[in-house]
Structure 1
Amino acid sequence: MKVTFLGTGTSQGVPVIGCDCVVCSSLDFRDKRLRSSIHLEIEGKSLVIDTGPDFRMQMLREKINHVDAVIFTHEHKDHTAGLDDIRPYNFMQKKDMPVFATKKVLSQIKREFAYIFEEVKYPGVPKVLTHEISKANPFEVEGIPITPIEVMHYRLPVLGFRTGDFTYITDAKTIAKEELEKIKGTKILVLNALQASHHISHFTLEEAIEMVNFLKPEKAFFTHISHKLGAHGEVEANLPAHIKLAYDGLKVDIA
């Protein structure tokens, strides 16, 4: 398995429009963060988790010319807004794009992208084949088994996903005991770590570290990062050796 971090920023990205803080002004490429998304290459299959507003740019940057399916964590725009840009894959692959999401997320997508689902479609609109998933049932995407993990984004349920020894969780503030059990034994864990100070709907850096210490993966990477966390190099220098800040374009090979 190869994991590529397509984007590691929070909903505004980094730099933030109109901000001239140290992080937003940084020349370190690791401090330039598009909206959070990852690409998974597993057994020859190509899967994307979340299509945020930067999806097109991310696909071009990583030269990803084939996508077998899209999986959504939740319905917020910073995770769904780029869905229209699956159109080139429809054309190249000559088939509808399989999309996996909860009933609630699919309903939101059908409202926001109503033209995709109209009975009489405008020529050239994206073509999708929807698959409803839930926290209760593992599912398969192109033969790849995936376990959904529900976390709470304040009061909004969000799904993380585990496949094999890799678990990806974004937009979490709390995780119920029964959902934590699904994560245990993970070797590579990705968690959100928004900023240092308290936030109502995201793990802080300290909370994310505490969660890593509890779950004890071999390695952990933090994502969904805001400019308020601090400069990448400075923050990472103070992390335990087995915890890293992810950055856009980072690739992780998992045996």
Structure 2
Amino acid sequence: MELCQSLSTLNPDIILTFLGTSTSTGVPVIGCRCPVCTSDDPKLTRTRSSIHLQTPEQSILVDTGPDLREQALRESLTRVDSVLYTHAHLDHITGFDELRAFCWHRDEPLPLYGSKACLDEIQRMFQWAFLPSNTYKGYVKPDPRITSGPFQLNKLTVTPVPVVHGSVETQGYRFDYPGCPSAAYLPDVKHIPDSSWHLLENIPLLIVDGLHHREHATHMNFTEALDTAEELGAGQIYLTHLSHELKINQTEKDLPANAHFAYDGLRIHFNSQDTSATAQHLS
């Protein structure tokens, strides 16, 4: 299946992969017999939210949820150069130990980017990795780097986008690469503060939290996500962090033409040869 959206002249070597697209429970939900959880549609089986961004120079992971091992095996992910963290909720950090598999063949520490609060919590939970006694070759050697503004990962400019998500300090990320349209990833968000709004206005590609239909205290629901994307003037929209309550097959008809439901394994290829972005599931 292929969906083509015209974004602008794009670099052919940028690939964004949705490693996971579910809320914190995963889908199917343990013990649930609802139509979504019992469906045999592979696109309705969802692991915890995460993306991977491959540039010509860097392999970048956003969050390390509890399904990281499964996601890496499914997508043949064998290299990670940097990890970006959105916040310290368990469904975004508890796969930290799986990073060992990406450190067996590297001698230098692995850069971890995030807010101070997030990195402090990761260090508290996985203290062994941060201790001076962690000298065993191949173990994760974290290099925590607090994000206070835009930073460079080779040619890629990464800009933290602070958002409101309950009481925990949370940020999404904006990605800018020469020759490519800008993209933003906001998997956990209830509200975008005025101070972050300018970072997202007219963004060509917006990936945003669209939990389900009913109101939620800390997440945008389906309607809020689409309304916010429209206010921002987003070009293409992908909804992620989806719960089993959202019946995708019934709700797709309510999506505007530029909006789509993300699903695990969906890859967005930026291709300059036909000036389009091709999104496809590669199994």
TM-score calculated relative to the size of structure 2: 0.86
Q: In the alignment, which residue of structure 1 is the partner of 2:237?
A: 220
Say whether residues 1:233 and 2:246 are aligned partners. Answer: no
Say whether residues 1:149 and 2:161 are aligned partners. Answer: yes
Q: 211-220 or 30-39, which moves further after superposition?
A: 211-220
- Paired with 1:77 and 1:47, the residues of 2 have a C-alpha distance of 20
Q: What does 1:95-134 align with in structure 2 at a 5 Å threshold? A: 95-121=108-134, 123=136, 125-134=139-148
- 1:252 deviates by 0.8
- Paired with 1:121 and 1:178, the residues of 2 have a C-alpha distance of 40
- 1:245 deviates by 0.4
- Paired with 1:185 and 1:211, the residues of 2 have a C-alpha distance of 11
Q: In the alignment, which residue of structure 2 is the partner of 1:211?
A: 228
SS in 2 for 1:179: helix
- 1:130 deviates by 1.2
- Given the alignment, which residue of 36, 49, 73 partners 1:36? 49
Q: In the alignment, which residue of structure 1 is the partner of 2:65?
A: 52
Deviation string 1:140-175 (CA, Å, 9 cap, x unpaired) is: 223421111110102322111111210100110011
Instruction: Please list every run of at least 4 consecutive aligned residues from structure 1 whose deviation after the TM superposition is greater than 4 angstroms.
Output: none
Number of residue pairs aligned between Structure 1 and Structure 2: 252
2:38 counterpart letter in structure 1: S
- 1:208 deviates by 0.4
Q: Contact 1:166/1:189 (CA < 8 Å) preserved in 2? A: yes
SS in 1 for 2:120: helix
Gap runs ≥5 in structure 2: 1-13, 177-181, 272-283
SS in 1 for 2:144: strand
RMSD, aligned CA = 1.3
Q: 179-188 or 70-79, which moves further after superposition?
A: 179-188
1:159 counterpart letter in structure 2: Q
Q: Contact 1:53/1:81 (CA < 8 Å) preserved in 2? A: yes
TM-score calculated relative to the size of structure 1: 0.95
Gap runs ≥5 in structure 1: none
SS in 2 for 1:84: helix
- 1:129 deviates by 1.1
SS in 1 for 2:197: helix
Q: What does 1:61-210 align with in structure 2 at a 5 Å threshold? A: 61-121=74-134, 123=136, 125-134=139-148, 137-164=149-176, 165-210=182-227
- 1:121 deviates by 2.5
- Paired with 1:92 and 1:11, the residues of 2 have a C-alpha distance of 31
Q: CA 1:254/1:217 → structure 2, altered by over 3 Å: closer, same or farther?
A: farther
- 1:110 deviates by 0.7
Q: In the alignment, which residue of structure 1 is the partner of 2:7?
A: none
Q: Contact 2:58/2:153 (CA < 8 Å) preserved in 1? A: no
- 1:92 deviates by 2.1
- 1:122 deviates by 7.0
SS in 2 for 1:111: helix
Q: In the alignment, which residue of structure 2 is the partner of 1:252?
A: 268
Q: In the alignment, which residue of structure 1 is the partner of 2:276?
A: none
Deviation string 1:164-203 (CA, Å, 9 cap, x unpaired) is: 2101001100111120111113101000011100100000
Q: What does 1:9-20 align with in structure 2 at a 5 Å threshold? A: 9-20=22-33
- Paired with 1:148 and 1:238, the residues of 2 have a C-alpha distance of 31
2:33 counterpart letter in structure 1: D
- Paired with 1:115 and 1:142, the residues of 2 have a C-alpha distance of 29
- 1:59 deviates by 0.8
Deviation string 1:210-254 (CA, Å, 9 cap, x unpaired) is: 011111222100000010112x22222321111000000000123
- Paired with 1:96 and 1:121, the residues of 2 have a C-alpha distance of 11
1:177 counterpart letter in structure 2: D
Q: 142-151 or 179-188, which moves further after superposition?
A: 142-151
Deviation string 1:10-43 (CA, Å, 9 cap, x unpaired) is: 0010000000001101111111000000000123
